[in-house]
Structure 1
Amino acid sequence: MYKTIDLFAGIGGIRRGFELTNQFETVLAAEIDKYACETYTHLYGDDPYNDVTTDEFKQKVANTDYDVLLGGFPCQAFSIAGKKEGFIDKTRGTLFFDIADILKHTKPKAFLLENVEGLLRHKKGDTFDTILKVLVKELNYTVVGVRENEIAPGGIEFNPRDFLVNSKDFGLPQNRPRVYIIGFNKDRYHSLTETIFMKELPKKRLEEPIYKDLNDLLEFNAEKEYYLASGYLQTLKNHKSRHKDKGNGYGYIVVNEPGIETPVSNALLATGGSGKERNLVYDPQDGIGGSLVKGKQTPLNDEGIRMMTPREWGKLQGFINYAFMKDGVDHFSFPPKLSKAQQYKQFGNSVTIPVIEVLAREIGQTLDALESKLSINSKEEILS
């Protein structure tokens, strides 16, 4: 069993994906959002409240016996200036620097880092390029998808698209491309990392899809509170029309409108309302249109258009009806009285668990192979 630390843990989506393989156990976590910590504690029984940026937490990591570092970190700008000590110096003041600092001083066997697709384009690719150079050239990790080439700029070659993995290819109807960076400790495994079979990230889940399409996942005949007020829907239509006249594709989207053969959702978002407006669904039922609902200024629309429910977001991320199933019973729940706004935010902020599960399985198998070869080599050295 490999031991993991769970940084920027949120509500533990990465943790759960690794634990589903039965190859990993979490020994330390870090999260500073109050409500995410409440949900994490509710789900796993561990209080993750720790600040990754503090010396106190870094010392706690240094005192912890662990094998794999896990973390989804915010995308932040790196300094162009700075001392000429190397690439890592450019990352000072960002949360990636704190990850790099922990990797440098604790040297785990492997790591998995997750980020949004925009990381690849951030600062015209300079941010992502710097991250890989830190990991490969300064921390001495073999990173899946990176080829070392001293002739290339910075000594590495890679195709940014090789780091993208999309949730819709892992059994869930959500178009959610995310960046995953996986590395193995070259100081520990030396040339063995050149022969590891994980040469690229898995791009799909081989098992049967969890849902055939979005309509298979949606729970129709939702409560009235999720239907859009007619005035609000008209505002969205006017907004979309204005942008369309300018040649822009902005505006609300009904992701399962009639005529779409195999509907999928757009990526769920943690911030703002657009994560909901770009994922409206068609769910007509009698008695909805014209109804008055407390908190809505106009009657409900008569077109059957509503927001997804938090529960549907939980299914799209693999928390509900998948990751916490045991003996046919779903054991996922939020803490009592957690607001729906927080539920949306926590699911939107998280990872898609079935994606993590597949990546974790590959990491576990690769570590098994590396550790086995390392053990054989050590015995041969003793005997020779």
Structure 2
Amino acid sequence: MSQDIRVVELFAGVGGFRLGLESASTRFKTVWANQWEPNKKTQHAFDCYVEHFGSDNHVNADIATVKHIVPDHDLLVGGFPCQDYSVASTGAKGIEGTKGVLWWEIRDIIESKKPKWVLLENVDRLLKSPSSQRGRDFAVILRCLIDLGYCVEWRVINAADYGYAQRRRRVFIFASQQSCASIVDYSKTDPSDLVIKEGFFAQTFPVEDAVNTKKTSNLDISKDKFKDLKALSDSFAGQFYNAGVVQADGSIFSTEILPIKVDPVPLKDILEEEAVDEKFFLKQNLEKWEYLKGAKKIPRIKPNGEPYFYAEGGMSFPDNIDVPARTILTSESSVNRSSHVVVDKTSGKLRLLTPIECERLNGFPDNWTDTGMPHKFRYFAMGNALVVPIVERIGKQLINV
């Protein structure tokens, strides 16, 4: 009988990681989860999670206050918020001298529980954060993981490239204990082969069999070059591309890969067929919508008094439903440039996406977020969520290997 894989889910939201993994295999057993929205009196995402999975071992509290009760587990997952990961100069040793942001809570749990695998998701700008020192934040995260005994891969995955209905780009980080050669033997495989053919992500999301030599970097974040995290945080300089691998010795190979694309589901295929409630239709403000979606060049003044023009290109209005949707943001459905506007199938009138359609774009069942939360928060939850079938695909690969 196959052994269960015990999962801990951090920053669980409405349960996308859990839904994806449990759809992949019954061997994934979530033994503990945490979801807490700071400064919110009502915890809508937590309530949604409980509605679907129950309240057992699901904690609604600041992770910093409950990380000591996280149980033993095999796989740690989480879509953690993107913050500033710089290491503060406080005179304290190692990680104790860092800013109190959420990455360090994750790191503490990994150090304490030593899961076999770690799977994290974040916005792809993490690779270039902060703007004042490109790549520093990501380098700090990678160094933490290798210091804790892990080999690490990452891949920026656009869900539409692999057949799904949304052009949603997210970076996924997969870390495996250096002793877990059953997944990938990182020590015996050429780094470029790991990224292109042999690595965990290469086997899960196939890419073109070529290395882009013009967009390739070889970096070093080892202790030989940076004695500690403070030195790395202060002095790191380097370019991370959309795929890469970190060896146990701190050497990094990164390159721009090209996915072997699968025809995506167009937006029109997820739109509701039946009549949609009138509240979703655009009854007024059409001129404002046209302005927001249109090209513009706006004169502005810099803080030093120097004039400049803020420019942005035009967008399709209404959205082209013959291609995948753009990325859903937390502001979806509000009157802003990024909200989708489509031609309703039944009436031919312009309208917003419905919460059900946003759930479909992320691969959730219809009405997953219809658990008593306010209408606007259903959009907010989907703007924060991940594409569930991407996680399901990763889960199946983990089971296969």
TM range (shorter): 0.7 to 0.9
Query: In 2, Cα distance between the equivalents of 1:362 and 1:52?
Result: 32
Which of the residues 135, 139, 146 maps onto 1:125?
Answer: 135
Map 1:202-351; keep pairs closer than 5 Å.
Answer: 202-203=204-205, 212-220=265-273, 221-230=275-284, 232-241=285-294, 243=296, 248-249=311-312, 253-254=316-317, 256-257=319-320, 262-271=322-331, 273=334, 277-283=338-344, 286=347, 304-320=349-365, 333-334=368-369, 336-351=371-386
Instruction: Report the equivalent of 1:371.
Output: none
Percent same amino acid at aligned positions?
28
* Aligned CA distance change for structure 1 residues 108 and 333 (closer, same or farther; 3 Å): same
| CA deviations over 1:126-169 (Å, ceiling 9, x no partner) | 11111111112x11101125xxxxxxxxxxxxxxxxx2011112
- Given residue 123 of structure 2, which amino acid in structure 1 is its aligned partner? V
- Structure with bigger helix share is 1
| CA deviations over 1:105-143 (Å, ceiling 9, x no partner) | 11000010000111112112111111111112x111011
Query: In 1, Cα distance between the equivalents of 2:94 and 2:393?
Result: 31
Q: Which blocks of at least 5 consecutive residues in structure 1 are unaligned?
A: 146-162, 287-302, 322-331, 367-384
- Given residue 108 of structure 1, which amino acid in structure 2 is its aligned partner? P
Instruction: Report the equivalent of 1:108.
Output: 115
- Given residue 219 of structure 1, which amino acid in structure 2 is its aligned partner? E
Contact 1:256 1:264 in 2 (8 A): no
Contact 1:78 1:90 in 2 (8 A): no
SS at match of 1:115: strand
Query: Structure 1 stretch 122-131 or stretch 245-254: which is displaced more?
Result: 245-254
Contact 1:170 1:354 in 2 (8 A): no
Instruction: Report the equivalent of 2:33.
Output: 29
1:173 deviates by: 1.5
Contact 1:82 1:89 in 2 (8 A): no
| CA deviations over 1:5-58 (Å, ceiling 9, x no partner) | 000000110111111121311010000131001100001113523435334x22
Contact 1:5 1:66 in 2 (8 A): yes
Contact 1:253 1:278 in 2 (8 A): no
- Given residue 199 of structure 2, which amino acid in structure 1 is its aligned partner? M
- Structure with bigger strand share is 2
Query: In 1, Cα distance between the equivalents of 2:343 and 2:389?
Result: 26
* Aligned CA distance change for structure 1 residues 133 and 239 (closer, same or farther; 3 Å): same
Instruction: Report the equivalent of 2:153.
Output: 144
TM-score, with length taken from structure 1: 0.72
- Given residue 41 of structure 1, which amino acid in structure 2 is its aligned partner? V
Query: In 1, Cα distance between the equivalents of 2:372 and 2:153?
Result: 42
* Aligned CA distance change for structure 1 residues 70 and 255 (closer, same or farther; 3 Å): farther
Contact 1:268 1:276 in 2 (8 A): no
Which of the residues 4, 15, 34 maps onto 2:7?
Answer: 4
* Aligned CA distance change for structure 1 residues 52 and 219 (closer, same or farther; 3 Å): same
Q: Which blocks of at least 5 consecutive residues in structure 2 are unaligned?
A: 38-42, 190-197, 208-258, 299-308
| CA deviations over 1:194-214 (Å, ceiling 9, x no partner) | 3585343433699x9797311
TM-score, with length taken from structure 2: 0.69
* Aligned CA distance change for structure 1 residues 65 and 173 (closer, same or farther; 3 Å): same
SS at match of 2:176: strand
Which of the residues 18, 22, 32 maps onto 1:19?
Answer: 22
1:183 and 2:228 correspond? no
| CA deviations over 1:322-376 (Å, ceiling 9, x no partner) | xxxxxxxxxx64454322112111111111000011112222333xxxxxxxxxx
Contact 2:88 2:98 in 1 (8 A): no
Instruction: Report the equivalent of 1:76.
Output: 83
SS at match of 1:175: coil
* Aligned CA distance change for structure 1 residues 351 and 217 (closer, same or farther; 3 Å): same
Query: In 2, Cα distance between the equivalents of 1:126 and 1:19?
Result: 34
- Given residue 135 of structure 1, which amino acid in structure 2 is its aligned partner? L
1:166 and 2:158 correspond? yes
1:283 deviates by: 1.9
* Aligned CA distance change for structure 1 residues 54 and 228 (closer, same or farther; 3 Å): same
